Structure 1
Amino acid sequence: MKTVVIEDSRIARNGLLNMLSVSHELQILGSAANAEEARDLIALHRPQLLFLDIQMPGDDGFQLLDSLDYDPYIIFTTAHAKYAVRSFDYQAIDYLLKPISQERLAISIARALSHHQDQPSHSPLDYDSRVFIKDGDECHLIAVFDISYLESCKNHVRVFFSGKSAFVKKPLRQLECRLPSTLFFRASRQYIINLKHVATIEKSVDEGYEVTMEDSKVIHISRRNGIILGQRLTL
């Protein structure tokens, strides 16, 4: 797994890198001391796994994750237990309290590899496929082409379709693997959109794009993802 370490303490950063060096399953692409350095490193390598400190100068670890346009696997590394509950909002693989032992780190790495190797239990869906969603007492049989967009909501995904919505208790990345890539586009860490249900696309002030869906929902796309989307939509 392509991996990046983000830790503001030089001693802790070097110590973690040293412990990770014995794992042949991880490819360590680099390290960063703060969110600003991390963003450049992440944009360059698009790592699959982040070892992420929470309290750092400037933006903290949560703010860094909120600014990303995709959702890598996360293992938090921190000296503070008080952030543990909030870490669940980011579907963290693990939450390591410093000082970190080699044995505890090995457990986290095994968890990350297990998540990474898990494959969807069903085959990919087609444009004409229908999916069944049971949300509480309500049941929905939905045509894939009727799904407008999907929104990550903590440990659930909210699926919007035909003026309605329903919740699925799965991570967004798992649903992304099943959706037809010719129809759906990963707009950001939080959203997947159906290109058939896009009403307008306009440039935003930060050089990204604002996509308005048919139900008037506005979804922001980063400049990087906007370029990828433009290449897909251009003749």
Structure 2
Amino acid sequence: MKAIIVDDERLARNELKRLLENFPKINIVGEAANADEAIQLIDELHPDLLFLDIQMPGKTGFDLLSELEGYVPEVIFTTAYDEYAIKAFEFNALDYLLKPIELHRLSEAVQKVEEEIQHQQERTDTAKEGVKVLGDNDQVFVKDGEKCWFVRLGKVRLFESMGNYVRLYFDDQKPLVLKSLNALEERLDSKVFFRANRKHIINLQFIDKIEPWFSGGLQVTLRGSGEKIEISRRQAIRFKELLSL
């Protein structure tokens, strides 16, 4: 299991590495002292796991996760502050360890990671047996509470991540389905549905207007609804390549 430690304090990184010597399945493949260094390492090494500090000079650990596109490792937050716990789990963190980190708590966190990665592999193996890419003409069954829909995917203009759920936007409906945005992205036709940022997938057929946005990104306005969605800087490069002559 490949892991990266992200912490601006060298002593904290060294202490965590010392504790992780008790877990031979964890292979520390890199260290970063800030978010920008970490993003570069994640792109290069595709680790399975991040041990991530929250309060760092410049960008926080939350900022780092918000800037990741596509591939996102499992996350264990390591911090000296307990007030960020609720927000941490909004980012689907597997655990939240308070410094100084105790060995038994680290052991519990590592076990959670091992179980989650095993479950992911099982889901991947199952999906490969009969995976089908869904296009805009495919119809899907959606159930939210007592309400049910049989909707053509081409009518869905937007998918929005809501923790472990995804909200679908079509007509004037906004049902929630129990599925991660990453899992959903693997099933959708990339010629029609585009990953705009960490939280959104947009239907390219619904784009009404495109504007330059901050830091080299773009902002698109969706036809009919008027919803404005940011395309992050890194995804904006892919977007231009995809839609240019």
State the TM-score, normalized to the length of structure 2: 0.81
Report the 3-state secondary structure (helix = DSSP H, G, I; strand = E; otherwise coil) of the residue aligned with 1:164. coil
3-state SS in 2 of match to 1:133:
strand
Query: What's the counterpart of residue 9 of structure 2?
Result: 9
* Closer, same or farther: CA 106–42 of 1 in aligned 2, 3 Å: closer
Are positions 1:139 and 2:148 aligned together? yes
Could you say which residue in structure 1 is the equivalent of 2:87?
Answer: 86
Taking a change above 3 Å as real, the CA distance of residues 231 and 28 of structure 1, as seen in their structure-2 partners, is farther
Moved more, 80-89 or 39-48: 39-48
Secondary structure in structure 1 of the residue aligned to 2:37: helix
Report the CA distance shift for 1:88/1:46 in structure 2 as closer, same or farther (over 3 A): same
Of all paired residues, the percent bearing the same amino acid is: 40
Which aligned runs of 4 or more in structure 1 are off by greater than 3 angstroms?
A: 17-29, 39-49, 67-71, 79-82
2:58 partner letter: G
2-structure distance, mates of 1:6, 1:189: 20
1:32-51 matches, cutoff 5 A: 32-42=32-42, 45=45, 47=47, 49-51=49-51
Counterpart for residue 180 of structure 2? 171
SS at match of 1:30: strand
Unaligned runs of 5+ in 2: none
| 2:162 pairs with 1:153 | yes
**Contact 2:76 2:109 (C-alpha < 8 Å) held by counterparts:** no
Mapped to 2, the partners of 1:115 and 1:78 lie a distance apart of 27
Is residue 126 of structure 1 aligned with residue 134 of structure 2? yes
Name the SS for the 1:201 alignment partner.
strand
**Number of the residue aligned with 1:194:** 203
Q: Trace 1:47-86 onto structure 2 (pairs within 5 A).
A: 47=47, 49-70=49-70, 72=72, 73-86=74-87
Pick aligned residue for 2:226 from 216, 220, 231: 216
- Once the two structures are overlaid, the 10-residue window that deviates more, 132-141 or 114-123, is 114-123
Task: Measure how far apart 1:132 and its partner are.
Answer: 1.3
CA contact (8 A) 1:88 1:155 kept: no
Q: Distance in 1 between matches of 2:2 and 2:169?
A: 32
- Render the CA deviation track for 1:119-163: whole Å, top value 9, x for unaligned: 275733422221111112211111111111101123321111123
Aligned Cα root-mean-square deviation (Å): 2.7
Deviates more, 1:201-210 or 1:187-196: 201-210
1:233 to 1:103, Cα distance in 2 relative to 1, 3 A: same
Decide whether aligned partners of structure 1 residues 55 and 206 sit closer, same or farther in structure 2, where only a CA change above 3 A counts.
Answer: closer
Shift of 1:90: 0.7
State the alpha-carbon separation in 2 of the partners of residues 52 and 44 from structure 1: 17
Shift in alpha-carbon separation, 1:203–1:53, aligned structure 2, 3 A = same
TM-score, structure 1 normalization? 0.84
Equivalent residue, structure 1, for 2:30: 30
- Following superposition, the deviation at residue 6 of structure 1 comes to 0.8
Report the CA distance shift for 1:152/1:195 in structure 2 as closer, same or farther (over 3 A): same
Q: Does the 8 A contact of 1:208 with 1:221 survive in 2?
A: yes
CA shift, 1:209, in A, is 1.1
- Alignment-mate amino acid for residue 60 of structure 2: D
Q: Tell me whether 1:95 sits opposite 2:96 in the alignment.
A: yes
Range with bigger deviation, 16-25 or 142-151: 16-25
Deviates more, 1:38-47 or 1:94-103: 38-47
> Alpha carbons of 1:32 and 1:141: their partners in 2 closer, same or farther (altered >3 Å)?
same
